[in-house]
Each structure stands twice: as C-alpha cells, then as structure tokens.
Structure 1
C-alpha cells in the first residue's frame, strides 16, 4: 500500500472480529517495522508487551473500562519504555559503529539523561508515540486496522503486566480485522489553523 494511502486510510477502529488471529510471521513483520522507529541516541527504549493470552486480555479489558476491542482484537500491544535504558549497556546501541564514535556517544548519552527524570520520561513518551504511529501505518499497509487507547487505569495495567519500576506506560494499540468501520472524520482543522510560520505572533 502506498504510504499516503495508509496515512489517509488509517482510522481508529473499535470493533474487531474476535475469532481472527494474526500469524506469528505477521506479528514479526509488524514488530520489525516498529523497531525501525527513530529514538534519541538510538536508545531504542521501547518495550512492547504483546498480549495474546485470553485471560490476560480480559483482565486488561476490565482495566480499560471494559472497552471490547481490548479483548476482541487479534493482537493487543501495550507500549512501555525503559526510562533507564540509557545506562543499561549503552555500548550496544552503537555496536556496529566505529569504536571511537560509540565511546563518544555513550559518554554524551549518560551525561545528558543521568539525574534528569523529567527528560527521561519525556524522551520515553516521544519515542513511544513515534513507534505507535509506525505500528498503525504498518498494520494498515498489511491490510489490518488499529486503534490507540489511553483510556485505562494505569495502576491496574502496570500490575497486570508486571511493569518494572523504571518503566513507564504509553498507550495500548489493538490490531485486527474490523467488523465495523469508523464514523466519518468529525472535523479536520485546516492547515491555516495548525501551521505557524517561523514564530508565534505576540497576540498568540
């Protein structure tokens, strides 16, 4: 599928065929695309929790205020990120680069993020957002529909998936075969409403 077709065709779908399953090969293809998403310093600190177990899906459905798609979709992905990935064997992020380059970047990475919890969280959220869009567009190009969810109880979800203390939750993404399409787009802002040229005006 053409990239622009995937962008314009992607919609947030809430109704999925509960009997449909993605193959292991399809899931691998989707996640291989996901990890092509860029991250600052190549940290790659996203951790994708792929939930296929039906009992766990039911628990997460309850934690997501009983939204049916959490249990019905072919695949549920809980996006999380390791906020301390910057200091966990950071040399591996540049293992294929010239040694002097890797050494320099490791020093810069640790110096930038160490003792900066807000920056660590901000970076995690940015990276998960980019990866989420990659997943949704890749799924659309594979013929599947998706939906992103932020409506859930974070404490309950963290407990269900055993989220480590140094990780942060992002959004959930459901992937599968739609049984009902989305409504028409409710109202798209014009480019004039969302583009600022060079800088905001003093009246903004």
Structure 2
C-alpha cells in the first residue's frame, strides 16, 4: 500500500481503463469504507454510494454521461448521491433523531436554524452536493493508495443517472461519478501552480 504522499503523486484522472480487469472486492470495500469516514457538514453524511459493476448498467450510465468511455470500461463506477432538502428536513422525526445523535445538545438549535435558513431548494441542493466532493476525495486517495485509478466526473445528466440507478430526483442529486479501475495509458504530465502562487501564510 502506498503512503499518503505516494498516493497523492500516483493519483491522476484516468480516462482510459483496462477493460475487463476487475478489482478485488476487499479493495472496493476498503475504498468505500474510507469514503464513509469522510467529514460532512453537521456530520449528517449527506451521501449515498451506488456502485455499478453490471456491464449493461454501465452502458446506460455512459449514455447519461455524454458517452464518456471510462464509465463503461472501468471495473466499478461509484455514483455519489447527495440528499435534497426533502430528506434533510429538520421537521421530520427521522432527521431530528439524526441531529440529536450526531450534534452536541447545546448546538442542536444552531443546526436546525442552519438547515432552515436556505433561501431555496436550489441553494440547499448546492450545499448538500458539495459534501459529495469531500467523499470523492477520500475515494480517490484510498484508491490511489492501492494503486487503483479513478476519474472524478461532473459531466453527466443527473436525472438520467438517477433513472438508471432507480433513485428519485426529488430526493437525490448526483454529486459526482467516480469510475475506478486500472489505467491503460500512462498519465499526462501533471501541471500545477507553484506553492508560492497558491499559498499565502499570514
């Protein structure tokens, strides 16, 4: 297993995977268990992970993802879903129970006020969707530590993806799709700004 620094250097967006090279189930479970441990706003774990391995379903996902071949060629495709306001309404007994279990008692009213403060469903969805990006980073780095490649994707039609995996667009939004597998081509040279260009210490 690669250490953290090695995993960061290994990771790149792999757009071409070796077809039919399958990941071990234990590796897939390690990657997803890592994602479950990711932090989330208010500790609400906004996400659910739908893992697609079935070939026919991957073809349908590819069609909903602007025909990007990595979706079909990957060993497994993780669809990161995040919850819409309907599933995180603090007025519901289920959500209030979740809040009480995960947030210190003196902060519960702050969490409730925050959840009720969004000016629109769209604003709430954008906040919730952003939590999925945190989970995605854990997925990609956990995969890289096992020398498994990934490719974070925003290029898909959320409602079409939800139809493929049988989820309601009134309850969920597609945050990211992350194909996982083994690169069939060497990575491009990584181009990044320098430390001094991006970091200010005050």
- Does the pair score TM above 0.5? yes
Tell me what 1:201 maps to. Answer: none
Contact 1:41 1:105 in 2 (8 A): no
Matched ranges for 1:25-36 at <5 A: 25-36=26-37
Contact 1:15 1:69 in 2 (8 A): yes
Tell me what 2:163 maps to. Answer: 159
Q: Are residues 118 and 106 of structure 1, via their aligned partners in 2, closer, same or farther at CA, if it must alter by over 3 Å?
A: farther
Q: CA deviation at 1:13?
A: 0.5
Bigger shift: residues 78-87 or 166-175: 78-87
Tell me what 1:91 maps to. Answer: 97
Q: Is 2:116 the partner of 1:110?
A: no
Secondary structure of 2:151's counterpart equals: strand
What is the aligned length? 193
Task: Give, in whole Å, the separation in 1 of the partners of 2:126 and 2:201.
Answer: 25
After superposition, what is the alpha-carbon deviation per residue over 1:78-114, rounded to whole angstroms, capped at 9, x for unaligned? Answer: 111013343343423554x7xxx65444433222112
Tell me what 1:176 maps to. Answer: 181
Task: Give, in whole Å, the separation in 2 of the partners of 1:123 and 1:152.
Answer: 19
Q: Are residues 93 and 32 of structure 1, via their aligned partners in 2, closer, same or farther at CA, if it must alter by over 3 Å?
A: farther
Task: Give, in whole Å, the separation in 1 of the partners of 2:7 and 2:181.
Answer: 15
Tell me what 1:67 maps to. Answer: 68
Cα RMSD after superposing both structures = 2.1
Tell me what 1:57 maps to. Answer: 58
Q: Are residues 135 and 90 of structure 1, via their aligned partners in 2, closer, same or farther at CA, if it must alter by over 3 Å?
A: farther
Q: Are residues 90 and 32 of structure 1, via their aligned partners in 2, closer, same or farther at CA, if it must alter by over 3 Å?
A: farther
Secondary structure of 1:170's counterpart equals: strand
TM-score by length of 1: 0.84
